Amino acid sequence: MRNWLYLHWRAFLHASTRLARQPLGTLLSALVMGIALALPAGAYILLDNIASLARGLSGTPEISLFLDAATQSGGDGSTSANANGDASESKNGDDDKLASAIEQRLQAETELASFRFVPRDEALRQLERSGLGDVLGGLAANPLPDAFIITLRSEDPAVYEKLAERMQAWPGVIHVQLDSAWVKRLHALLGLGRMAVLVLATLLGLALVIVTFNTIRLQILTQKMEIEVSRLLGATDPFIRRPFYWFGVLQGILGGLVALGVVWAGVAALVDPVTALAETYGAVFTLSGPDDASALGVVAFAAFLGWLGTEISVQRHLTEPF
């Protein structure tokens, strides 16, 4: 085991020496790999930022539940779930009963994160403050219904729709408004974006495997003599192959580091303009680069591609029996 570790250490040194002895070739390969990897990595970071931006802008998507104004204003009672036929009952009392009945139903729902009752008077005041008061001023009575504003635990549009459908059937509910249309659209767009990143990463990953394959093939050719002599002196296949694996993996790691550098540079260049742009929309937003886990992921992915290219090359070019 110690001997095995020592042999790996020797192979690692051997490979590093080879990389260091041809700095230009090493640099060019690292740049090719790095720039190619920076594309999907950068796109991924961008998507991540858009997703968090979207969450920041909308807060949490809401459901608005409007109560039946007819039940509230008319003394009719026939449409009211809680009609008790007492004509002398005040209008407010009627409202309160309907509101508290809905409230009870809402409390029984497990999917809700929060809900808030907005009485029709408050809704009118909000509308007046927003500058639409003049339009409403002409009306004799307040046309707005009482409402509940509901937020859910889940961000899944499907959950929203199912709940909204159920609420629509509740007595006294005249309309359920769902602002999930754009949530749905965003979800779909992000999904599409992630798929595009995946396809891009796969294609460019394949290209990098091919690049490594060829680099290792050339390395094997230039070291043909050394390989032959080593075999004659009793080198096993793993001994012959080890330095090439290290070479491929080290080159992959260098490529991954270059990719991270490119992404970081891109983020650094864009952070101020993006913040300024967000401010014009009244939003506070800072573009963020990859976190430690993603950074490590990029380097590990690059190292894996290097290993894979080497593996194929070694299987292809280093298996002929001597």
Q: Is 225 in the site for other proteins (CB under 8 A)?
A: yes
Name the minimum Å distance from CB 321 to other proteins: 6
- Among residues 64, 142, 151, 230, which is the contact residue for other proteins, using CB under 8 A? 230
Rounded Cα gap, residues 322 and 318, in angstroms = 10
Task: Name which of 8 and 187 has its Cβ closer to other proteins.
Answer: 8
Q: Which of 12, 117, 239, 307 binds other proteins (CB under 8 A)?
A: 239
CA distance 169 to 197: 42
Helical spans, DSSP H, in the chain: 2-21, 23-58, 69-73, 91-108, 120-127, 133-137, 157-168, 180-222, 224-232, 237-280, 292-317
Nearer to other proteins (CB atom), residue 188 or residue 229: 229
Q: Which stretch binds other proteins (CB under 8 A): 31-39, 45-53, 234-242, 292-300?
A: 234-242
Which residue lies nearer to other proteins by CB, 170 or 239? 239
Q: Is 320 in the site for other proteins (CB under 8 A)?
A: no
The residue (of 58 and 230) whose beta carbon lies closer to other proteins is 230
Site string for other proteins, 85-124 (x = CB under 8 A): ----------------------------------------
Of the listed pieces 1-9, 38-46, 112-120, 136-144, which binds other proteins according to CB under 8 A?
A: 1-9
Nearer to other proteins, 217 or 242 (CB): 242
Least gap, CB of 227 to other proteins (angstroms): 11
What DSSP string runs through 43-68? HHHHHHHHHHHHHHHH-S-EEEEEE-
> Helix (H, G, I), strand (E, B), or coil: what is residue 109?
coil
Burial of 271 (0-12, 13-18, 19+ CB in 10 A): middle
Residue 139's Cβ-side half-sphere holds a number of Cα atoms within 13 Å equal to 11
**Residue 293 binding other proteins, by CB under 8 A:** no
Binding of residue 140 to other proteins (CB under 8 A) = no
CB-nearer residue toward other proteins: 85 or 234: 234
By C-beta, is 292 or 320 nearer to other proteins? 320
Nearest alpha-carbon partner for 314 in 217, 184, 247: 217
Sheet holding 112-118, edge to edge: 112-118, 147-152, 62-67, 173-178
Instruction: Kindly report the length of the chain.
Output: 322
Q: How far is the CB of 30 from other proteins (least distance, A)?
A: 23
Instruction: List the interface residues with other proteins, window 9-48 (CB under 8 A).
Output: 10
Dist. CA 275–CA 287, nearest whole Å: 7
Contacts with other proteins, residue ranges (CB under 8 A): 3-4, 6-7, 10, 225-226, 228-236, 239, 321-322
